[in-house]
Amino acid sequence: MMVVPLHEAPKRARRVAVGTFDGVHLGHREVIAGADAVVTFDPHPVSVIAPGHQPPLLTTLARKAELVAELGAAELVVIPFDRSFAERSATEFVDLVLVEALGASHVSVGENFHFGHRALGGPGLLAADGRFETRVVPLLEVDGEIVSSSHIRGLILGGAVEYAGRLLGSRFAIDGIVEPGERRGRELGYPTANLVPRDGYCTPGHGVYACRARTSDGAWHAAAVSIGVRPMFETGLGELIEAHVVDFDGDLYGSELRIEFHRRLRGERRFSSVDELVEQIGRDVRETREIVAGA
């Protein structure tokens, strides 16, 4: 897939889907269906329009591009969203971006998509424009709830990663570089690869999760993952994502690790002894192996 900023997009006719598309969830996928180019914004518009109120994001731009590519689009056009762009009128967005820069022959948006200064533009303005065909996609409901990025964020923050994955259309994933830790897990017989939660991005609530981890060589392994502050030990390290990569023997420090979340196993808790903690970790690892093998 080609990922290009708007000013570098080559001149050609396009069938475009437009939106922020954080998470590329099931509702977004309905909007993107049939598009050969997906237009998105970076950073998230709220971070510019209302600084300090932006939501924790579900996907990095790189992950968004990966998910969009899996849907068959050939191009992700990224609009650098800054104060100047936010002040453009809705008409300017249509004229200068959709028509002039992108040559849109078809435009697909969700029914709640708004654009332009003060968000005054909407699906009605697009549908009234005869220069391209407009498709307005109704909001998608699953189990009586609107599928939205904000709803999915709430699920993930609450630990409901399995159901969040269902609404996303793929398992929620985090990418990060493995950082040195205190090697406490190794001392307990369960070495861990440590990731520091990325500022501005969604991290599942504290607890232990059955996951799958992809190492830098592309191999996938079951992984028992703990997210929290390690209540058994005074570390001063703050919140950590600690992944015990099952049946892996190697050095992961400094390498990139992807963690896919399958299911929450339990909450974070303090144990009465280190031996009790080790016994519980053993149970977590066995359960994780079974869950991932059956996925």
pLDDT in tens, 33-80: 999 999 999 999 999 999 999 999 999 999 999 999 999 999 999 999
User: What's the confidence (pLDDT) of residue 185?
Assistant: 61
Whole-angstrom Cα Rg for the chain: 22
Stretches in the chain below the pLDDT threshold 50: 232-234
Position 232 scores a pLDDT of 47
Q: What's the burial of 24, exposed, middle or buried (CB within 10 Å: 0-12/13-18/19+)? A: buried
Element (H, E) at 126: helix 123-127
Which residues of the chain does CATH 2.40.30.30 include?
A: 171-293
- Asked whether 149 and 55 are in contact (CB, 8 A), the reply is yes
Fold of 171-293: Elongation Factor Tu (Ef-tu); domain 3 (2.40.30)
The CATH architecture one would assign to domain 2-146 is: 3-Layer(aba) Sandwich (3.40)
Beta strands in 74-118 (DSSP E): 75-80, 104-110
Domain with CATH 3.40.50.620 in the chain: 2-146
The model's pTM is 0.93
Taking the C-alpha atoms of residue 280 and residue 288, their distance in angstroms, rounded to an integer, is 12
